[in-house]
Chain A
Amino acid sequence: MSSISAEKVLPSSRTHRLWWWRDRAIGIAVAWLGLMLLVAIFADRLAPYDYAALDLHHRLAAPLGLGGTIAHPFGSDELGRDVLSRLAISIRISLLIAFGATLIGAVLGITLGILAAHFRGWVEQIILGCIDFQASMPFLVLALAVLAFFGNSLLLFVGLIGLHGWERYARVTRALAMSANEHAYVIAVRQLGARPWRVYLRHIMPNIASTLIVTMTLAFPDIILLESGLSFLGLGVQPPLTSLGNMVGYGRDYLTRAPWILVLPSLVISLTTLSISLVGDWLRDRIDKTLS
Chain B
Amino acid sequence: MVRFIAVRLARALLTIAVVVTFAFVVLRVSGDPARALLSPETPAEAVEAFRKAWGLDAPLWVQYARYLFAVVHGDLGQSMRDGRSAIAVVAERIPVTLMLTAPALILNLLIGIPAGIYAALKRDSIADRLVMMVAVVGFTVPSFVLGLVFVLAFAVELPWFPSGGAGGWQHLVLPVITLGLGGAAVLARFSRSAMLEVLGQPYIRAASAKGVPWPRVVTGHALPNAAIAVLTIVGFMVGNLIAGTVLVESVFSWPGIGSLLVVSVVSRDLAVIQCIMLVVAAAMITTNVTIDLLYGMLDPRLRDLRSGRR
Contacts and interface: CB of A to CB of B under 8 A. Distances in A.
B152 A274 contact: no
Interface stretch (B82-90, B106-114, B137-145, B296-304): B137-145
Interface of A: 2-3, 5, 7, 14-15, 18, 21, 128-129, 132-133, 135-142, 144-151, 221, 225, 228-229, 232-235, 245, 248-249, 252, 255-256, 259, 262, 266, 269-270, 273-274, 277-278, 281, 292
Interface in B105-124: 124
Nearest to A149: B30
A3 B143 CA distance: 36
Contact of A145 (B11, B141, B239, B273): B273
A145 B265 contact: yes
Contacts of B19: 133, 137
Interface in B271-306: 273, 276-277, 280-281, 284-285, 288
Contact of B156 (A135, A145, A255): A255
B18 interface: yes
Nearest to B196: A3
A259 B145 CA distance: 12
Contact of A277 (B136, B142, B152): B136
Contact of B200 (A2, A135, A151): A2
B136 A248 contact: no
Contacts of A274: 136-137, 140-141
Interface string B139-155: 11111110011011000
Interface string B16-32: 00110011001100110
Contact of B246 (A144, A151, A256): A144
B242 A149 contact: no
A160 to B, nearest CB: 11
Given A5-B200, A140-B242, A277-B139, 7 more contacts: A137-B284, A141-B280, A150-B31, A232-B142, A232-B250, A235-B262, A248-B148
A141 B276 contact: yes
A190 B288 CA distance: 41
B222 interface: no
A133 B240 contact: no
B126 to A, nearest CB: 8
A234 B129 CA distance: 37
Given A138-B239, A145-B23, A274-B140, A248 B280 contact: no
B140 A277 contact: yes
A contact patch SS: helix
B261 A141 contact: yes
B245 to A, nearest CB: 9
A262 B26 CA distance: 34
B284 A138 contact: yes
A21 B132 CA distance: 14
B155 to A, nearest CB: 9
B72 interface: no
A40 to B, nearest CB: 19
Most buried by B among A7, A138, A225, A252: A138
A10 B139 CA distance: 32
B285 A225 contact: no
A145 B26 contact: yes
Given A18-B124, A232-B144, A147 B265 contact: yes
Given A136-B288, A270-B142, A145 B124 contact: no
B264 A148 contact: yes
Nearest to A12: B124
24 contacts: A2-B200, A18-B129, A129-B18, A133-B15, A136-B15, A136-B235, A137-B19, A137-B239, A138-B240, A138-B280, A140-B242, A141-B243, A145-B273, A145-B277, A150-B31, A229-B247, A232-B142, A235-B262, A235-B266, A249-B144, A255-B156, A262-B148, A270-B145, A274-B136
A270 B140 contact: yes
Q: Which of A228, A235, A270, A278 has the most CB of B within 10 A?
A: A270
Contact of A229 (B139, B144, B284): B144
A139 B246 CA distance: 12
B104 interface: no
A228 B242 CA distance: 17
A270 B141 contact: yes
Contacts of B200: 2-3, 5
A147 B30 CA distance: 10
B251 interface: yes
A273 B140 contact: yes
B73 interface: no
A144 to B, nearest CB: 5
A280 B67 CA distance: 45
A133 to B, nearest CB: 5
Contacts of B193: 292
Contact of A140 (B190, B246, B268): B246
B124 A7 contact: yes
Interface in B2-41: 11, 14-15, 18-19, 22-23, 26-27, 30-31, 33, 36
A232 B277 contact: no
Contacts of A14: 124
